Structure 1
Amino acid sequence: MGPVPTLVLVLFGCLSGVTTVLFGFGGGFVTVPVVAAVTTGVDPMHIAVATSTAVMVVNSATATVVQARAGRLRREYLWPLAAFIAMGAVAGSVTAAETGDPTLRVLFATYLGVTIVDSVLRGGFLRSQGDPRPLSPITTTAGGAGIGAVASFLGVGGSVLTVPLLRRKGLAMADATAMANPLSLPVAVIGTAVYASAGSGPVGYLDPLAGAALLAGSLPTIALVRRVADRLPDRVHAIAYVLLLATALLAVALGS
């Protein structure tokens, strides 16, 4: 990897640090398009998804510690949802490793588009509605497994599913995005293990150099952004979330 792609990855790593703290992304929607764009050879999308999950392990764990210290993590929304997300992540990761690269790219873009439309058109996301409400048993079990399967298949953690879910349960954006980080950890850990054992490289589909460059940008940024995360107005926070998804969709479309 030459100096220009490395610098690009470091810069996008900084952006993934911002999205980890502000939106709970852990890096997936930022890192997948850029890693796919700078990767040469076969299976660039598989490499991008795999590397994204590895970066998410570190980013999400770091942000989880930050959010726990800030008192934003609420056990009633984290457990046992995290356990069912982990179960679904196993199936999603194994399926993704066996899916063709063009198909993975199309599904990634399709999922982004559906999420954007749903967030804008369906009530309860752009503007919080009412007091926080508990998760139903069906949402925790079947919903958790579905979140894990889809998120690990696309290499995006669980944030793009858990943030809208918790948002529509009445949580503020700051709280919903804070809890997306620990909920993304099962997906990231399981996905990384599966992708590391697949593919033809020494660590499967993972690209260690790309991952290191992304982390070089993301980790210092997480430490800096946490100081201003609570100052973002709730509605602005929600709108910015949707705009970031739209930017990621554009990046995937231009890179296809």
Structure 2
Amino acid sequence: MLTSFLTLLSFGCLTGITTVFFGFGGGFVAVPVVYGVLTAAARPGPDAMHVAVATSAAVMTVNAVAATLAQWRAGRLRHADLRPLAAFITIGAAAGSLASTVIGGTELRVLFVVYLLVTIADSLLRKGFLSPELRTPPEPLGRGTTTFGGMGIGLVAAALGVGGSVMTVPLLRRRGHPMAEATAMAGPLSVPVALAGTLVYALTPAATAGWGRFGYVDLTAGAALLLGSLPTIAAVRRAPGRVPDRVHSVAYVLLLLAVLIVMTVMDA
């Protein structure tokens, strides 16, 4: 029990770093970690992946709000791009959260891995992410991208508990935003996804409900992750602006590769 708590606390610190530097409110770290802790404790059950996704969404809600406040104070948020996207992401997130509760745990895990593969391939093979043409001001988002792209981001991100930053960051990057700015805006755009997912999962009767659970949300695991992440967010909130843009974008892809490897071998 203590080992599990310390593991979650340690990875909570990592989610704080990824939240500030990459816009990941915790999903890409929290999902495999919570799933791994449940598996190591010999109690994965049929709902382990749902619990991991639900707990990730709850952690992301808090982390994304904390990071948004920090980035707003740093002046890295462009409200003209945020407002229209946020509304359609919220619509998609509500649908994605409901859909995820009827997808089997194994299928959910496979979709998570496929999502990572597609994102990594897109970042490496398509121009505009690793070496973008930075513009001042950045190119505005079109109506079609805002509407259908926003709903698609919300749908996929909420279903997999990943917040949407892996789609919003490349999108904003290819519109000419520097990496520090694109990742900063991923925070507020993750809030509606995380909140919708948390509410749906918390209010869905879990098949194996037990002590410390609110629906599918594991309150103990979530608390341990937040104990690590929130102080870390406060400590590193000013650091992204000091990282060279190219280094920042390469590190983003490397982190996704690391999570892909973990999720692929976890049950091997």
Q: What residue is the counterpart of 1:210 in the other structure? A: 221
Give the CA deviation at 1:128.
Answer: 1.8
Q: What residue is the counterpart of 2:36 in the other structure? A: 37
Give the CA deviation at 1:125.
Answer: 0.1
Give 1:219's aligned amino acid: L
Give the CA deviation at 1:158.
Answer: 1.3
> Any stretches of 5+ residues in structure 2 without a counterpart?
none
CA distance in 1 between counterparts of 2:7 and 2:44 reads 19
RMSD between aligned alpha carbons?
0.8
Give the CA deviation at 1:227.
Answer: 2.9
Deviation by residue 1:173-196 (Cα, 9 ceiling, x = unmatched): 000000000000000011000000
Runs of 4+ in 1 over 3 A off after TM superposition: none
> Any stretches of 5+ residues in structure 1 without a counterpart?
none
Give the CA deviation at 1:129.
Answer: 1.2
Give 1:241's aligned amino acid: Y
CA distance in 1 between counterparts of 2:231 and 2:240 reads 15
Q: What residue is the counterpart of 2:203 in the other structure? A: 197
Identity of aligned residues (%): 60
Deviation by residue 1:191-224 (Cα, 9 ceiling, x = unmatched): 0000001124251100000000000000010011
Q: What residue is the counterpart of 1:54 in the other structure? A: 58
2:233 matches 1:222: yes
Deviation by residue 1:11-58 (Cα, 9 ceiling, x = unmatched): 100000000000000010011001001112421110000000000010
Q: What residue is the counterpart of 2:146 in the other structure? A: 140
Pick from 219, 229, 253 the counterpart of residue 264 of structure 2: 253
2:175 matches 1:169: yes
Give 1:10's aligned amino acid: L
Q: What residue is the counterpart of 2:26 in the other structure? A: 27
Contact 2:35 2:44 in 1 (8 A): no
Contact 2:164 2:193 in 1 (8 A): yes
Contact 2:134 2:178 in 1 (8 A): no
Give secondary structure in 1 for the equivalent of 2:25.
coil
Contact 2:202 2:217 in 1 (8 A): yes
Give 1:54's aligned amino acid: A
Q: What residue is the counterpart of 2:10 in the other structure? A: 11
CA distance in 2 between counterparts of 1:37 and 1:26 reads 19
Q: What residue is the counterpart of 1:153 in the other structure? A: 159
CA distance in 1 between counterparts of 2:81 and 2:11 reads 30
- Point out the more displaced range, 197-206 or 126-135: 197-206
Give secondary structure in 2 for the equivalent of 1:252.
helix
Residues 58-77 of structure 1 mapped to structure 2, 5 A cutoff: 58-77=62-81
The TM-score with structure 2 as length reference comes to: 0.94
CA distance in 2 between counterparts of 1:127 and 1:30 reads 26
Contact 2:56 2:222 in 1 (8 A): yes
Contact 2:128 2:174 in 1 (8 A): yes
Deviation by residue 1:90-111 (Cα, 9 ceiling, x = unmatched): 1100010110000000000010
Give 2:223's aligned amino acid: A
Give secondary structure in 2 for the equivalent of 1:73.
coil
Q: What residue is the counterpart of 1:80 in the other structure? A: 84
Give the CA deviation at 1:130.
Answer: 3.9
Give 2:196's aligned amino acid: I
Q: How many residues align?
A: 255
